[in-house]
Amino acid sequence: MTAVAELMDYAEVVERFDPVLGLEVHVELSTATKMFCGCPNLFGGEPNTHVCPTCLGLPGALPVVNGSAVESAIRIGLALNCEIAPWCRFARKNYFYPDMPKNFQTSQYDEPIAFDGYLDVVLDDGEVVRIGIERAHMEEDTGKSLHVGGATGRIHGAEHSLLDYNRAGVPLIEIVTKPITGIGERAPEVARAYVTALRDLLRAMDVSDVRMDQGSLRCDANVSLMPRGATEFGTRTETKNVNSLRSVERAVRYEMTRHAAILADGGGIRQETRHFQEADGTTSAGRTKETAEDYRYFPEPDLVPIAPSPQWVEQLRGTLPELPWERRKRIQQEWNLTDEELRDLVNTGAADLVAATVDAGAEPGEARSWWVQYLTQQANTREVELAGLPITPAQVATVIGLVKQGELTNKLAREVVQGVLDGEGEPGEVIERRGLKVVSDDSALIAAVDEALAAQPDVVEKIRGGKVQAAGAIVGAVMKATKGQADAKRVRELIMERCR
Amino acid sequence: MTELTTLPAAELAAKIHAREVTSVEVTRAHLDRIAAVDDHVHAFLHVDREGALAAAEAVDADLAAGKAPASPLAGVPLALKDVFTTKGIPTTCGSRTLEGWVPPYDATVTRTLREAGVVILGKTNMDEFAMGSSTENSAFGPTHNPWDHARIPGGSGGGSSASLAAFEAPLAIGTDTGGSIRQPGAVTGTVGVKPTYGGVSRYGLVAFSSSLDQGGPCARTVLDAAMLHEIIGGHDPMDSTSIDAPVPPVVAAAREGARDGLSGVRVGVVSEFRGEGYQPGVLRSFEAAVDQLRALGAEVVEVSCPHFTYALPAYYLIAPSEASSNLARFDAMRYGIRVSDDGTHSAEEVMSLTREAGFGPEVKRRIMLGTYALSSGYYDAYYGSAQKVRTLIIRDFDAAFEQVDVLVSPTTPTTAFKIGERVDDPLAMYLADLCTIPSDLAGNAALSVPCGLSDEDGLPVGLQVMAPALADDRLYKVAAAYEGARDAAAGGSLVHQVPELNGGAR
Ligand SMILES: [Zn+2]
């Protein structure tokens, strides 16, 4: 399979074809327990330790819906501007699969809890694309198989397979877009931006870990092409379980170039699922769907229907946090940021921290410069995420306040912050322990100034001779003698007084 | 001491609680009876002798220590249909597929019985996965009707009802999906109750058809059934379809019916359930029962439920559809038998070959039927239409219950047929549940109480009483009144007319 030879140059692809995307994102909810039983919903763990008769699908066991998962589903639906179904049910999706203990998945089929919404996605240059949301529905995750003894880790060639059902029954929300059209060459970027926006939204709502690397957010990308000007969609392929934002973009781009080459050659696209290869950015054929699989859906008889009352839905609407893009818009206006400054803020992951620092009483400009510059540097040195630094926005605001009041110089302030990061306690304690107060007592300063002047009589001569800039050397000496705790401005004033 | 196996559960309980007899003595008497006669009856798939005696000892110890009985039936033995999971005791559902499976957990019904001090003797034979009307579909061989060993004991809970008629147990638990408690009750001369759907937890009941399955009590008297009903009934948070409401006062209703008769009670006779296809002797017994109800003061009227005619076909689309999905989990991967796992077959082939080997013909027939009925091109025509019929049947019941308090009919169109007689004719077999199926589709309550022996073959006939959902108490009132009057007129309870079995006097 020589993938590269089969590709078409991207510029030519977008000149000849219009792409149509469909993105299906699976999100594992971070509820305390699983979708239909009381087992803990935890990532990893010794295999088959978070299981019970229900999530193992043992004969006789029955599901009971996790109310907090329904709550999350409704909140997600509301955040995606969806309608919330006043009455809906679970359905059974029947198919045989070793990872799935009951051999049917309890899911929602024709009665999703949320439907017909949209998400506005901001591209890098500020263009906003509105992505239609077809539906968001609830379902349960499957277990995992581990194939042992083969070269590839796949079932083919394996000596035996091990099954871990810890993940079986974890609550999932599947969010499905309407066909995304009219985005032309920007399709890969749009795909990435959409998944990014969705991830940020879900993170802000605190409903999921949204860790693509751990599979708590997974994206299936459907891609098809139609000749420019055509209205009928082409045959699509579905690239499964793409597990990073960058890969979403690469997978879409790769499929576009692959489809284009085949179509331009007079060939036809086979409707199939494909796997994305992280290493070289290509996709390979998975299962061919020649005939649509018949899942024999029917309403799940073991569960009663869900009928969220309008009051409950409105109450949940009230729990939605300020949504990421709304906050960005507000921050940009309030803090008077250029697009570029906003982007820096967002890219360093500092926006929330700056906002919290401002909320704690700091000036936006000061707060931004502390987080984007000094603290970002510290995070890099310490190899942690910015948000993972052991300092709170409130502590940063305290330090900024002390500088403003003249209690600390900028240099001292950085030392205080350093102390907080090193675990020496609150800013006040660090100042106390390291003796970092600005010396504002004139008598102490005068002594230091006199000492410095006495040590450098030539400089005193120069100043008296009118060379005012020579005072810098004395200021430096005083600052050194006071370990930087002197107010430089006051020191200069004192020098000029003494040399008059 | 042999009278211990013939007394009603209520009387046994009273003697045990008064410490006139021990639970161990009662339990041992039943275990001995099982040992003596079950080779001929084959009501049990598994007898838990040690577990039963240990449970009985525990009850005796508590009573000796002056503790109050854990329940009104504490210390009384019971036979449990093999469809309920029992921790540490095999559960097979009458299927090869589950041969040797010992569940790691108790069904809610099992747990509740244990907590009530009811002594579980063992697991009773049944049609495989509760699919059948004769207990001939058990992978482990049929159960024989104690009234005539050549005949079926009804199905699918033939083992539970036969154990009562054979005096191997004073109480039993069955499950009713299309009539599997009432129909065996009728043909063995015992009482069987299908409570309102959701009235008894399904957690740990190995599912046949989730929207129809309902566990319920089997007993030799209406009062015994009521006492058992109050123990196993009630809300279970582990079953989201279980009703969050108190259990109707069925024991009080049974006592009231037996004492006060039926004046002021309006009884509807379902006109669709008589005529062609009904054994004349069954209809004659039924008419006599209706006369008896009148004599007890009931006002009897004819009621038409026109859509009941479509209940059987609707049932045979809905139940197999759900079964095809519920039985998908038996794939040889985690429990039960596995065949052809010799390294030359793929996982899919092992699944397929195991299902081929593990399931009997009736189960396969229904899986195929259900798979077909749910498939995308046929869903609306079959499953969808059947659900519409179900709605129409519910409306028929609603309309009828506006006029009357209960409906009555024969429980089965015929008495027990001969083993093997209908094996090759599934459609003839399905007719056995003709009268019981509407209540399952509608989810309301229904009961079968013995109403005499058919004059042409001397075999038991059942009177079916049906009540609205959550009005289970009406069943008990009517049935207890009837039972008392019938037994008084006949000079004793019907089930005591069952012939002596090989194995000696009970
Ligand atoms: Zn679980």
SS (H, E, C) A257-320: HHHHHHHHCCCCCCCEEEEEECCCCEEEEEEECCCCCCCCCEECCCCCCECCCHHHHHHHHCCC
* CB nearest to B383's CB, from A62, A161, A298: A298
B333 contacts in chain A (CB < 8 Å) = 98, 163
With bands split at pLDDT 50, 70 and 90, how would you rate the model's confidence at A181?
very high
Judging contacts by C-beta atoms under 8 Å, the chain B residues touching residue A38 are: none
Chain A closest-CA separation from residue B452 CA (Å): 37
Which parts of B382-506 fold into alpha helices (H)? Answer: 385-403, 426-430, 437-442, 472-490
Distance A62 CA to ligand 1 centre (A): 10
Of all residues in chain A, the one with the smallest CA distance to B333 is A98
- Mark yes or no for CB contact B205/A94 under 8 Å: no
Spot the catalytic one: B81, B123, B194, B477.
B81
Set B71, B95, B156, B321: catalytic member: B156
> B329, B359, B371, B375: which to substitute to probe chain A, counting the most A Cβ within 10 Å?
B329
Indicate the range of A310-314, A321-325, B354-358, B485-489 predicted with least confidence.
Answer: A321-325
Q: Which residues of A touch B328 (CB under 8 A)?
A: 94, 96, 102-104
List CB contacts (< 8 A) between A294 and chain B: 375-376
Nearest Cα of chain B lies from the Cα of A304 at a distance, in angstroms, of 6
The alpha-carbon radius of gyration of chain B (Å, integer) is: 21
Tokens read off for A131:
């992505």
The residue-averaged pLDDT of A453-474 equals: 82
Q: Is the pLDDT of residue A366 over 70?
A: yes
Task: Output the CA–CA distances (angstroms, integers) from residue B285 to B32, B110, B169, B471, in the order listed.
Answer: 35, 36, 27, 26
**A59/B98 CB distance under 8 A:** yes
Write down the pLDDT at residue A69.
Answer: 98
Q: Which residues of A touch B348 (CB under 8 A)?
A: 96
How close A116 gets to chain B, by Cα (Å)? 25
Name the residue with higher pLDDT: A322 or B267: B267
Cβ neighbours of A53 in B, within 8 Å: 104-105, 204
Q: Torsion over CA of B378, B381, B384 and B388, rounded to 10 degrees?
A: -170
Interface test with A, best of B331, B383, B385, B390 (most A CBs within 10 A): B331
CB contact under 8 A, B104 and A61: no
- Ligand 1 centre from A60 Cα, in Å? 13
The answer to whether the CB atoms of B93 and A96 lie below 8 A apart is: no
Q: What is the pLDDT of residue B219?
A: 98
Cis peptide before B156 (omega within 30 of 0): yes
3-state secondary structure B39-89: HHHCCEEEECHHHHHHHHHHHHHHHHCCCCCCCCCCCCEEEEECCECECCE
Per the CB < 8 Å rule, is B324 touching A101?
A: no
pLDDT for A331: 84
Please give the pLDDT value at position A179: 98
Three-state DSSP state, B408:
strand
Tokens at B456, concatenated: 């042409």
DSSP output for A41-107: --SS-STT-S--TTTTT-TT------HHHHHHHHHHHHHTT-EE-SSB--EEEE---TT-TTSEEEE
The verdict on a CB contact (< 8 Å) between B91 and A58 is no
Q: Which of A55, A58, A92 to mutate to test the interface with B (most CBs of B within 10 A)?
A: A58
Percent of chain A with pLDDT strictly greater than 70: 97
Residue B380 φ then ψ, to 5°? -65, -40
Q: How far is the CA of A58 from the centre of ligand 1 (A)?
A: 10
Alpha-carbon distance of A135 to A138, in angstroms, equals 10
- What is the CATH code of the structural domain delimited by A442-498? 1.10.10.410
Residue A369 has pLDDT above 50, yes or no: yes
Pick from B215, B107, B128, B241: which is nearest to A60 by CA?
Answer: B107
- The shortest CB-CB distance from A102 to any of B206, B328, B375 is to B328
Section B334-342 average pLDDT = 90
- Residue A169 Cα to ligand 1 midpoint, Å, equals 7
Please state, rounded to an integer, the average pLDDT across all residues of chain A.
Answer: 89
Nearest-Cα distance to chain A for B330, in Å, is 8
Question: Is B321 a known active-site residue?
Answer: no
Going by the DSSP 8-state scheme, the letter that residue B195 receives in this structure is P
B466 has which bridge partners?
B407, B446
Task: Tell me the pLDDT band of A5, cut-offs 50, 70 and 90.
Answer: low
Q: Tens digits of per-residue pLDDT, B76-109?
A: 999 999 999 999 999 999 999 999 999 999 999 9
How confident is the model over B39-50, as a mean pLDDT? 98
C-alpha B317/C-alpha A250 separation (Å) is: 48
* pLDDT of amino acid A25: 98
* Sequence-separated (6 or more) residues with CB below 8 Å from residue B419: B134, B136, B142, B144, B150, B151, B152
Is residue B2 scored above 60 in pLDDT? no
Cβ neighbours for A296, distance < 8 A, ≥ 6 positions apart? A92, A94, B324, B325, B371, B374, B375, B376, B379
Residue with tokens 């030539």: A458
Cα–Cα distance, B208 to B321 (Å, whole number): 10
Helices (H), B261-310: 280-295
Indicate if the pLDDT at residue B456 is higher than 80: yes
Distance in Å, CA A56 to ligand 1 centroid: 7
Instruction: Read off the amino acid at residue B485.
Output: A
Residue of A388 and B293 predicted with greater confidence = B293
pLDDT in tens, B255-290: 999 999 999 999 999 999 987 889 999 999 999 999
Query: A64, B347: Cβ pair inside 8 Å?
Result: no
Contact A96 B333 (CB under 8 A): no
pLDDT over 90 percentage in chain A: 55
- Amino acid A448: pLDDT: 82
Pick the closest to residue B332 from B45, B100, B89 (CA basis).
B100
**Contact state of B105 with A301 under an 8 Å Cβ cutoff:** no
Instruction: Check if B364 is active-site.
Output: no
Confidence of residue A284 (pLDDT cuts 50, 70, 90): very high
Query: Above 50 in pLDDT, residue A1?
Result: no
Band of residue B1 on the pLDDT scale cut at 50, 70, 90? very low
pLDDT at A289: 60
Which candidate from B325, B379, B383 shows the least CB-CB separation from A104?
B325
- B463 with B411: CB under 8 angstroms? yes
Q: What is the pLDDT of residues A324-348, one digit of tens each?
A: 888 888 888 888 888 888 877 877 7
Partner-chain contact B211 A98, CB within 8 Å: no
Edge-to-edge strand list for the sheet holding A114-122: A83-84, A114-122, A128-140, A171-177, A17-28, A217-227, A237-242, A272-277, A282-288
**Cross-chain Cβ contact B331/A65 below 8 Å:** no
Structure confidence at residue A460 (pLDDT): 82
Give the Å distance between the CA of B176 and the centre of ligand 1: 28
B457-467 residue pLDDT tens: 999 999 999 99
Query: Using an 8 Å Cβ cutoff, are B341 and B350 in contact?
Result: yes
Rounded to 10 deg, the angle between the A393-404 and A351-359 helix axes is 60
Closest-CA residue of chain A to B370: A296
Q: Across the interface, do B240 and A65 touch by the CB < 8 Å criterion? A: yes
Spell out the residues 6+ positions from residue A435 whose beta carbon is closer than 8 angstroms to its own.
Answer: A485
Predicted local distance difference test score (pLDDT) of residue B136: 97
pLDDT at A3: 46
For the whole prediction, is pTM greater than 0.80? yes
pLDDT for residue B232 is more than 80: yes
Nearest to B240 among A102, A163, A303 (CB): A303
> What kind and span of H or E run contains A240?
strand A237-242
Q: Which of A277, A286, A185, A295 is nearest to A237 (CA)?
A: A286
Distance from CA of B203 to the nearest CA of A (A): 6
Q: Do B347 and A101 touch (CB under 8 A)?
A: no
Domains of chain A, by residue range, sit at 10-311, 323-430, 442-498
Decide if pLDDT at A2 tops 70: no
Name which residue leads in pLDDT, A279 or B504. A279
Is A101 within 8 Å of B329 when comparing Cβ atoms?
yes
The answer on pLDDT for B245 being more than 60 is yes
Q: Tell me how far apart the alpha carbons of residues A215 and A144 are, in angstroms, rounded to a whole number.
A: 12
Residues of B in contact with A94 (CB under 8 A): 324-325, 328, 374
- Quickly count: other Cβ atoms within 10 Å of residue A401's Cβ: 17
Q: How many CB pairs under 8 A join A and B?
A: 103
Which residues pair with residue A136 across a beta bridge? Answer: A114, A175
**Choosing from B133, B180, B201, B448, which is the catalytic residue?**
B180
Contact B107 A96 (CB under 8 A): no
Q: Which of A60, A98, A292 sits opposite B204 (nearest CB)?
A: A60
- Indicate the residue of B206, B240, B325 with minimum beta-carbon distance to A64: B240
Q: Which residues of A touch B (CB under 8 A)?
A: 53, 56-65, 92, 94, 96, 98, 101-104, 155, 161, 163, 292, 294, 296-298, 301-304
